[in-house]
Amino acid sequence: MNTPFAMLRFTLLLAVVVTAVGCGKTPPASFRLNMVQATKTAAPESGMEKPWATWARERQGQVATILEAMYGTPDDPVALAETGLDLAKLKLAAGPVRSDIVGRKNGLYREHCVHCHGISGDGMGPTAAFLNPYPRDYRPGKFKFKGTWRDARPGREDLTRVLHEGIPGSSMPSFALLPPAQVDALVEYVRYLSMRGETELALYTYAEQELGVDETLPTTKEFLVDEILTPIVEKWQGAEDARIPIASVPANVDFTKPGDDPANRESVARGRALFHGDGGCVKCHGVTALGDGQANDYDDWNKVIVEWSKEVTGGLDSTQDDAGRTAWLHAAADVIEGDALRPRTIPPRNLRLGLYRGGRRPVDLYRRLYTGINGAPMPGVGPSGPGGKGSVADAEIWHIVNYIRSLPYEFDGELGADRPMVAKDRF
C-alpha cells in the first residue's frame, strides 16, 4: 500500500467522522420570533430597573408564549375558532413530512415550501439568501399578486393561482401537479402563517405604544382575541369583498390578436401615449421600457431593514452615555447582521422580455396597473379605493395592457439606441 492511498483513506475517514458528528441533535421545529420587529419596537425607556437585554428578553419571551397559545407550534398548529382557519387543512400542511394511517401525505409545507419561505413563513429558509428575488416573507400580511385593493389581503383564489402558476422570473415554481386538496391545505397554511405574523406585529406595536416599562402584555380573551386578533381576521375574511372592479374591454381592443395586428393598432397607440404620459410608466420602466428608469428603490420588506439600519448606524456613531440605549443599538446591529437578509434594491420590470411575474393574462396586467403592486414601489394608475379617481380611466387601462403586450415584439429595425434588444433578438 503506498502512502498517498493511506493518506486518502485517512482523510476520508476523518471526513466521515467529522460530518457524522454534525451539529448536534435536531431539536423539534419551533417558530422563530420576528427579531427585527421584536428589537426595533423595544427601545429602552428611562426608568428601567433591569438591564435592557434582560428586560427585552422577558417581553419577547411573553410574545412567544402568547403566539404559541394562539397558534401552537410548527408540529402541532392551533387555530382559534375566531380565525376561521380550517384546522384539518393546517394539520395536513404542518409537521414533518410523513404519511398518515390512510397513506395520505402530511407535512406539505415542510416538503415543498420551507427551504425558501422558512418554518415561520419569514422568507428566510436556508436557500433564501441565494435567491433573487428573495422568497416572500408572509408575516406582514402583504402580498403582491392579487385581485384585491392594494392594501387588502389576497383572496384564497389569488394564493391558489400563485401556487398553480408559480411566479415566472423568480424561483417560485408551479405546484400545478399537486392534487387540489394539497394546494388548498398549503393556501390555508400560508394564511395561518400570515395571521400569526400579523398577530406578532400587533403585539409589538401594542407593547411599544401602550405598555410602561414594568408592565406585561394582557393575556385575556378580551385583549388577545377582541383587540388584537379580530382586526387581523376581518381583513383576511374581507378579502372576497375587496376585489377591484374590472372594466369591460373597449371595442378596439382584441386580445385574441397580437399587439402589432392591425386590429389593435389604434389601441396600442393609445396605450403608448398613456405609458409615456398620464400613466407615468416611463418614470421607472424607462422610455425604452427596459426597466432602466428610476431603479434604486427598495420594496417594503427590504426598506424596513434599510431604514432601521441607517438609524442604528447613526445611533452607534454618535456618542452614547446611556447604557440601555447602547445595549439596544448593539443588539439591533446584531439582528440586522444575523437575522435579516441583506437588503436589495428592486429594479422595475423589463417589459420587453414578455415575462410577467403576476401572470401574463391581460386581466393580470390590468390588475397590476390598476392598484399597483402592494409592497413594491409600483404605484397604481386606478383609484386607491372604491369611489376614488385614478390617473387613467378604468377602461383606458386596457390600452396600456395592450401596449405592454406589444412591447416584446415592437421593433423590427436594427439594434441601436432607439431600438433596444427585445425578446425575439435573444433566440
Partner 1 sequence: MTSFCRSCVPLACLVVATSAGCGPRRVSAPVADAAAALTIREGLASTAAAAVTGGEAAVVGTGWASLKGRFVFAGDPGQPKPLAVDKDTEVCGKSSKLFDRSLRVDTSTKGLADVVVFVRKSSRVKNPVPDAPQMFDQKNCEFLAPVFAARVGQPIDVRNSDPVGHNTNIDGTSFNQLIPAGQGTTYKPDTEMGAPKAVTCNIHPWMKAYVIFRKDGYVAVSSGDGSFAIPDLPAGEPLEFQVWHARATGSGGGVVLERPDLKWNPKGRFVITLQADEVKDLGTLEVPAGSLGT
Residue ranges in 302-341 that form contacts with partner 1 under rule CB under 8 A:
314-315, 318, 325, 331, 334-335, 337-339
Lay out the site mask for partner 1 across 39-58 (x = CB under 8 A, - = otherwise): --x-xxxxx---------x-
Peptide bond into 133 cis (omega under 30): yes
d(CA 107, CA 94): 5
Contacts of 65 (CB under 8 A, 6+ apart): none
> By CB under 8 A, is residue 12 in contact with partner 1?
yes
Q: How far is CA 281 from CA 71, 271, 378, 410, in A?
A: 42, 11, 9, 17
> By CB under 8 A, is residue 86 in contact with partner 1?
no
Rg (CA), the chain: 25
Q: Which stretch binds partner 1 (CB under 8 A): 66-74, 83-91, 174-182, 394-402?
A: 66-74
> By CB under 8 A, is residue 401 in contact with partner 1?
no
d(CA 427, CA 418): 20
Q: For 211-248, b where at least 16 C-beta lie within 10 A, e where not — what string? A: eeeeeebeeeeeebbeebbeebbebbeebeebbbeeee
Judged by CB under 8 A, the residue of 29, 75, 78, 131 near partner 1 is 78
Judged by CB under 8 A, the residue of 168, 238, 250, 280 near partner 1 is 280
H-run or E-run covering 377: none
From the CB of 427, what's the least distance to partner 1, in Å?
A: 33
The nearer residue to partner 1, 34 or 264, going by C-beta atoms, is 34
d(CA 191, CA 186): 9
> By CB under 8 A, is residue 131 in contact with partner 1?
no
> By CB under 8 A, is residue 297 in contact with partner 1?
yes
Judged by CB under 8 A, the residue of 88, 97, 129, 316 near partner 1 is 129
Judged by CB under 8 A, the residue of 287, 383, 393, 409 near partner 1 is 383
Judged by CB under 8 A, the residue of 52, 55, 60, 356 near partner 1 is 60
Which cell is 314 given?
A: 447613526
From the CB of 260, what's the least distance to partner 1, in Å?
A: 27
Q: Which stretch binds partner 1 (CB under 8 A): 264-272, 289-297, 354-362, 412-420?
A: 289-297
CA 108 to mean position of chain CA atoms: 19
The nearer residue to partner 1, 389 or 426, going by C-beta atoms, is 389
> By CB under 8 A, is residue 272 in contact with partner 1?
no
Judged by CB under 8 A, the residue of 37, 67, 196, 406 near partner 1 is 67
**Among the listed residues 212, 265, 224, the one whose alpha carbon sits nearest the alpha carbon of residue 46:** 212
> By CB under 8 A, is residue 250 in contact with partner 1?
no
Q: Which stretch binds partner 1 (CB under 8 A): 87-95, 189-197, 247-255, 272-280?
A: 272-280
Q: Please, are residues 349 and 357 in contact by the beta-carbon 8 Å criterion?
A: yes
> By CB under 8 A, is residue 384 in contact with partner 1?
yes
The nearer residue to partner 1, 75 or 254, going by C-beta atoms, is 75
What 3-state DSSP class applies to 148? strand
From the CB of 23, what's the least distance to partner 1, in Å?
A: 4
**Among the listed residues 304, 295, 279, the one whose alpha carbon sits nearest the alpha carbon of residue 142:** 304
From the CB of 113, what's the least distance to partner 1, in Å?
A: 18
Footprint (CB under 8 A) of partner 1, residues 147-206: 149-152, 205
* Beta strand pairing call for 105-106 and 98-99: antiparallel
Reported as half-sphere exposure (CB side, CA atoms, 13 A), residue 301 has a value of 24
Judged by CB under 8 A, the residue of 385, 415, 418, 425 near partner 1 is 385
